[in-house]
Chains A and B, each alone.
Chain A
Amino acid sequence: MSLPKRIIKETERLMADPVPGISAVPHEDNLRYFDVTIEGPSQSPYEKGIFQLELFLPDDYPMTPPKIRFLTKIYHPNIDRLGRICLDVLKSNWSPALQIRTILLSIQALLGAPNPDDPLANDVAQDWKKDEKGAIETARQWTQQYAK
């Protein structure tokens, strides 16, 4: 199956005009599969962390959202143990006008604004609500330990 023009264009633009703090590089043997890195936003417990993600564009992209997942261990109420991300634009609020670039920006923003009221990792979210300071400290430690 040939690669839709849109994917080629998106890839070209990501290369030509990368988003600061974000990189997405397609695999040579599968141009729908991207190695992604996102820098933790400053002023967040993820600051200075470099998080690896994988991103896959399904066959019916952009009619369906990209599949994306953290590979780096991260302590975040909306990201679970397996790196699955709870983000509306990756699910029911996906729109074909969104792009890899915008999705990755949304994820970066999610790191800066955890939402423990809409948790995916329930235990983390509970910790976050019970003891936000402690949870942030844990997130910081995990970032230092894993997100290098």
Chain B
Amino acid sequence: MEQSRAHSQPPPRVPAAQTPARRDTMFCHKCQDEWYRDEHGLTCPACGSDFTEIVEEDNDPRDVHIHDHSDDTESMPDLEEAPAHLNPFAHHNPWRDAGHDADDPEETDISQLRYQQVAPGRFTVTGTVYRTMSPSGAGRGNPNVGGFASMLNNIIGAQIGQMHTVPPQNDEAERQQSGSGTTPAGHRFHYQANARLFPRDANHAGPQIEPVDEMSNVLAGLMAAFGEPPGGPRAAQNHDPYAPPAHPLNPLLAMLTGFMPGGNAAAGDFVYSQEALDRVISQLMEQTSTSNAPGPAPQSDIDALPRKHVSMDMLGPEGRAECSICMDEVNIGEEVTELPCHHWFHHGCVAMWLAEHDTCPHCRQGISEHSENAGGTTAGGAATASHGAATATQNPQNANTGSRSMPGAFDVEGDGSLDHPFVVPSASPEQRRG
């Protein structure tokens, strides 16, 4: 479009045969707002743009926009496929199907929208608009940056339309609608819903009071879809015939989501209700629940752990013992793996644990040289059950750590009542300690 046109244009002719109170109508190319020149001047009062033009009978820039819009749809279908429940007019492209909907008896009317000023501050618009949505295409994409301007425009138009228009209309009849209003903005034409089409009627002025429950339900749905492609849940919502009627806050929501980078950010990045917040917090808590736990032990260290066979003196006082990870009983002669702290387990059981966290399941001492949990500065050493000394003597290669065993002691690690306040009841009869 010729950007320079707005200002290089000569002053409008005053048509001689006009009604006496003829006023210049201004049109904003940026937001497609309309206003009277004598009220707001040449700069768009809605968006502040000066890319504006005076509407003249033989040079109506709005027609250009209408057709441009239609072209946009051809080349960038995504623009028009913003989630319809967020933006009730997103699918509201009346011209999209004009080409292939040849049976449409009103087709000629579609291209003959009329905008007439009948009196100062009054105008009449006539036209029929078909809202045809392709379910397969619905929600396929998000409004991208380029589409945002037109989306915003639709939003504003929708809001104004709701606030100023029209009694509820019977949308079963395919008839022309005409209406009038007191403001030029947003009153280009009235939309007429068609019974063949999508059952939700965005045309009717919905309740102006925000139904809070429904709002949060919608958001909850989006929250639940956290992480899914944004098109999915919105498309589903789009097909919900019981979706709440378009109301003013939904376009606001559409704006919020539209502002997100690339339109790809999920609505879950924001929360609008306490439940949603709780859900996010729960999720974070889950994700970080073990983030403070020590990291995995090196596989080589796990593989290098000494194996030994269960002997009589490794069994508990009742002559029984079990691996405290799988809780299976271990019998004399069975091979187990012993950690530096002399606690022993089935190799498979403890290897699985150490591969996630380098801590002894009983005393939290680490197995790897570099592990902070293995730091030998702790005088108290690891909590070791009463048989610790006995097992230590059987493993001379671990004599260096054996010195930290405290026979007969159950105390927690000396350094850690704050970090590791939990005392493992290692002497409990169920948890055989060797």
Chain A residues within 8 Å of B, Cβ to Cβ: 4-6, 9-10, 13, 62-65, 81-82, 84, 88-98, 102, 106
Complex Cα gap A36–B424 (Å) = 22
Binds A, one of B10-18, B46-54, B113-121, B282-290: B282-290
Given A13-B430, A63-B353, A93-B420, A5 and B293 touching (CB < 8 A)? no
Residues of A within 8 A of B285 (CB): 84
B349 at the interface (CB under 8 A from A): yes
Task: Decide: B327 and A95 in contact? CB cutoff 8 A.
Answer: no
* CB closest residue in chain A, given B428: A102
Question: Mind listing 20 A-B residue pairs with CB under 8 Å?
Answer: A4-B326, A5-B326, A6-B325, A6-B326, A6-B327, A13-B430, A63-B352, A65-B289, A84-B285, A88-B421, A88-B422, A91-B292, A92-B291, A94-B290, A94-B293, A96-B361, A97-B324, A97-B362, A97-B431, A102-B425
With beta carbons under 8 angstroms apart, the residue of A13, A91, A96 that contacts B325 is A96
Task: Decide: A82 and B289 in contact? CB cutoff 8 A.
Answer: no
Task: Decide: B290 and A64 in contact? CB cutoff 8 A.
Answer: yes
Task: Decide: B289 and A95 in contact? CB cutoff 8 A.
Answer: no
Complex Cα gap A9–B324 (Å) = 11
Complex Cα gap A84–B281 (Å) = 11
Nearest Cβ distance between residue A53 and chain B, in whole angstroms?
16
Complex Cα gap A142–B335 (Å) = 53
Task: Decide: B421 and A10 in contact? CB cutoff 8 A.
Answer: no
Residues of A within 8 A of B324 (CB): 96-97
Complex Cα gap A81–B275 (Å) = 11
B356 at the interface (CB under 8 A from A): yes
- A96-B349, A97-B325 known; 4 new pairs, CB 8 Å cut-off, are A9-B327, A84-B285, A89-B422, A94-B290
Task: Decide: B289 and A91 in contact? CB cutoff 8 A.
Answer: yes
Residues of B within 8 A of A96 (CB): 324-325, 349, 353, 361
Considering only residues 274-307 of chain B, those with a C-beta below 8 Å from chain A are 278, 282, 285, 289-293
* CB closest residue in chain A, given B292: A92
Residues of A within 8 A of B326 (CB): 4-6
Complex Cα gap A89–B422 (Å) = 7
Residues of A within 8 A of B352 (CB): 63
Residues of B within 8 A of A91 (CB): 289-290, 292-293
Complex Cα gap A131–B359 (Å) = 39
B364 at the interface (CB under 8 A from A): yes
Complex Cα gap A88–B290 (Å) = 9
* CB closest residue in chain A, given B291: A92
B328 at the interface (CB under 8 A from A): yes
Nearest Cβ distance between residue A58 and chain B, in whole angstroms?
10
Task: Decide: B282 and A82 in contact? CB cutoff 8 A.
Answer: yes
Given A5-B327, A6-B327, A9-B327, A92 and B282 touching (CB < 8 A)? no
Complex Cα gap A89–B291 (Å) = 13
Residues of A within 8 A of B349 (CB): 96
Nearest Cβ distance between residue A6 and chain B, in whole angstroms?
5
Task: Decide: A106 and B431 in contact? CB cutoff 8 A.
Answer: no
Nearest Cβ distance between residue A23 and chain B, in whole angstroms?
18
Residues of B within 8 A of A64 (CB): 290
Given A84-B285, A96-B349, A96-B353, A106 and B422 touching (CB < 8 A)? yes
Residues of B within 8 A of A82 (CB): 278, 282
Considering only residues 332-391 of chain B, those with a C-beta below 8 Å from chain A are 349, 352-353, 356, 359, 361-362, 364
Nearest Cβ distance between residue B425 and chain A, in whole angstroms?
7
CB-defined interface of B396-424 with A at 8 Å, one 1/0 digit per residue? 00000000000000000000000011101
With beta carbons under 8 angstroms apart, the residue of A4, A6, A10, A93 that contacts B293 is A93
Task: Decide: B362 and A63 in contact? CB cutoff 8 A.
Answer: no
* CB closest residue in chain A, given B328: A5
Residues of B within 8 A of A62 (CB): 325
Complex Cα gap A62–B356 (Å) = 12
Residues of A within 8 A of B328 (CB): 5-6
Complex Cα gap A13–B422 (Å) = 22
* CB closest residue in chain B, given A101: B430
Complex Cα gap A82–B276 (Å) = 13
Residues of B within 8 A of A97 (CB): 324-325, 361-362, 424, 431
Nearest Cβ distance between residue A102 and chain B, in whole angstroms?
7
Residues of A within 8 A of B282 (CB): 82, 84
Residues of A within 8 A of B290 (CB): 64, 91-92, 94
* CB closest residue in chain A, given B326: A6
Complex Cα gap A65–B357 (Å) = 13
Nearest Cβ distance between residue B302 and chain A, in whole angstroms?
14
Nearest Cβ distance between residue A83 and chain B, in whole angstroms?
11
Nearest Cβ distance between residue B433 and chain A, in whole angstroms?
10
Residues of A within 8 A of B291 (CB): 92
Complex Cα gap A96–B255 (Å) = 49
Task: Decide: A95 and B425 in contact? CB cutoff 8 A.
Answer: no
Residues of A within 8 A of B325 (CB): 6, 62, 96-97
Residues of B within 8 A of A106 (CB): 422
Complex Cα gap A106–B422 (Å) = 9
Complex Cα gap A55–B425 (Å) = 22
